[in-house]
Structure 1
């Protein structure tokens, strides 16, 4: 580690150095964990496994966003996939006498 002559630095340079040290300290453990995880994943790959297989941790896969099935007649950019809670515009259109087929994309 290079020796830094602190007495020769200005106040601005000292504060910048202090901020860098504070960031390095705050992220130290995270960086070490990331490095350790990378080493373990590499070793597992060398042995023909994934780390999830060896630890028994289930891999959570994210579901792709659902395609829009319905569009708001007043604003076609406002869509709904048919999953989850019905949007207000959908319910209002149904009360106004529209059918689901009328609102399909």
Structure 2
């Protein structure tokens, strides 16, 4: 590629070069976009063919509670996730986890 000397080019030559560069970029980006859209289409088709309705989130069965608060029976805990405050308070006051088992 020949070396261009931008300092020696007048405004019209620079503007023409600018337009050529924009056109070349537009063509390359359009070609790249077409390739990526084709790949995305193929991936969507493959995904749809594998399992219909696969885009839905898989629902896990509800986990039954294992522990109940004796002072408020509506408060239960399955033993998963963050420990509820009532369990933490009960354990801090000397209780055992087994005491609250359902």
Q: TM-score if structure 1 supplies the norm length?
A: 0.45
Larger radius of gyration: 2
Q: TM-score if structure 2 supplies the norm length?
A: 0.46
